[in-house]
């Protein structure tokens, strides 16, 4: 944690008597690795990545095909609870039990990680690129352009995000892709506001003025001189944004507007199992744990990055 007293690193003197140089990148990496929550979050995300990439090897069964007529399976199949060998269950192993259509829940949860990570990354990539453009233009141009763009962002922010994404999905039609689009649009204002606020504080800096004096065009000033210097808060927000996107996509799927059956999407699995919670709680329990684990990973990493990258926050978290 950053609140521990700063370590005093002895300055190693090199042959020519100058201090050993440390690159800013290395400095940052060290600071990130010193943040407990960043490391824990990173580990959780890496686990999810391994699960997603290696789903074909980790999953014990087909995520979509029901278990009817499979050798060794004993009736009644649907909604059967978890069966693990080391708890004395002699039937074929189902770590998380079978669902209402006699599919292996463990395999579905494993494959679900692919969809959820895909959702998180796509949504953030979409809203980040558009939001940064809007924020850069608004902050750089100022005047009426800024007013129009930022008021539009205020209007988008005036609607609770879930309601707005439900409305957008209704207009474009349900489905995972449209849900992604809706969540993406709804998250644009956050990035736009953040970018604009940083751009305003950076654009009067001397190196920007110097760039302008050297004859750099607006495009070059915005993307080469300003953008790299406003990235820090955006990186933090984008990391947290992945978690938010995963949860919102799950919520839309839960309401029947996102991923459709038989996709093994976690929110969709919860939606299908909703009415069965009192008779087969394992169908609800495991997908929810998977969502919480993934989102927690990104939230922890985001918090840790903020502690490590944002000097103002240091010492308070």
Q: How far is the CB of 155 from other proteins (least distance, A)?
A: 3
d(CA 2, CA 62): 45
Q: How far is the CB of 17 from other proteins (least distance, A)?
A: 38
d(CA 211, CA 227): 13
Q: How far is the CB of 125 from other proteins (least distance, A)?
A: 21
By beta-carbon proximity to other proteins, the closer residue of 211 and 256 is 256
- Residue 44: count of CB within 10 angstroms of its CB: 19
By beta-carbon proximity to other proteins, the closer residue of 47 and 162 is 162
* Residues at the contact surface with other proteins, assessed by CB under 8 A: 1, 3, 37, 151-152, 154-155, 158-163, 166-167, 170-171, 243, 247, 250-251, 254-257, 267, 270, 274, 277-278, 281, 284-285, 287-288, 291-292, 295-296, 299-300, 303, 315-317
Radius of gyration from C-alpha coordinates of the chain: 24
Three-state DSSP at 94 gives strand
Query: Which phi and psi angles does 232 have, rounded to 5°?
Result: -55, -60
Q: How far is the CB of 171 from other proteins (least distance, A)?
A: 5
By beta-carbon proximity to other proteins, the closer residue of 178 and 225 is 178
- Residue 265: count of CB within 10 angstroms of its CB: 28
User: Nearest CA to 113 among 276, 282, 297, 279?
Assistant: 297
By beta-carbon proximity to other proteins, the closer residue of 198 and 244 is 244
By beta-carbon proximity to other proteins, the closer residue of 221 and 280 is 280
By beta-carbon proximity to other proteins, the closer residue of 122 and 253 is 253
Is there a contact between 87 and 201 (Cβ–Cβ < 8 Å)?
Answer: no
Q: How far is the CB of 288 from other proteins (least distance, A)?
A: 3
Neighbouring-strand partners of residue 301:
none
Which distant-in-sequence residues (6+ apart) come within 8 Å of 24 by Cβ?
none
Q: How far is the CB of 73 from other proteins (least distance, A)?
A: 26
User: Nearest CA to 227 among 123, 140, 121?
Assistant: 140
């Amino acid at each position: 944690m950053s609140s521990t007293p700063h370590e005093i690193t002895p300055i190693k003197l090199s042959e020519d008597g100058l201090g050993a140089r440390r690159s800013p990148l290395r400095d940052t990496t060290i600071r990130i690795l010193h943040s407990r929550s960043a490391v824990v979050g990173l580990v959780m995300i890496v686990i999810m990545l391994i699960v997603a990439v290696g789903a074909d090897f980790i999953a014990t069964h087909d995520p979509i095909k029901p278990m009817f007529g499979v050798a060794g399976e004993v009736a009644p199949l649907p909604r059967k609870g978890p069966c693990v060998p080391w708890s004395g269950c002699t039937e074929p192993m189902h770590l998380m039990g079978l669902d209402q259509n006699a599919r292996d829940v463990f395999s579905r949860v494993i494959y679900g990680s692919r969809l959820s990570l895909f959702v998180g990354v796509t949504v953030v990539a979409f809203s980040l690129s558009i939001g940064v453009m809007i924020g850069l233009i608004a902050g750089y141009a100022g005047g009426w352009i800024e007013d129009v763009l930022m008021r539009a962002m205020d209007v988008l922010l005036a609607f609770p995000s879930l309601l707005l994404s439900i409305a957008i999905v209704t207009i474009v039609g349900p489905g995972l892709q449209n849900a992604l689009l809706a969540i993406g649009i709804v998250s644009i204002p956050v990035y736009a506001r953040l970018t604009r606020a940083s751009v305003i504080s950076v654009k009067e800096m001397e190196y920007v003025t110097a760039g302008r004096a050297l004859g750099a065009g607006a495009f070059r000033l915005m993307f080469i001189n300003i953008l790299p210097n406003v990235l820090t808060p955006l990186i933090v927000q984008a990391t947290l944004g992945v978690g938010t996107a995963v949860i919102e996509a799950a919520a839309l799927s839960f309401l029947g507007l996102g991923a459709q059956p038989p996709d093994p999407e976690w929110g969709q699995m919860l939606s299908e199992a909703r009415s069965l919670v009192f008779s087969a709680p394992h169908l609800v329990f495991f997908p929810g744990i998977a969502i919480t684990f993934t989102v927690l990973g990104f939230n922890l990493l985001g918090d840790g990055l903020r502690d490590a990258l944002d000097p103002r926050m240091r010492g308070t978290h």
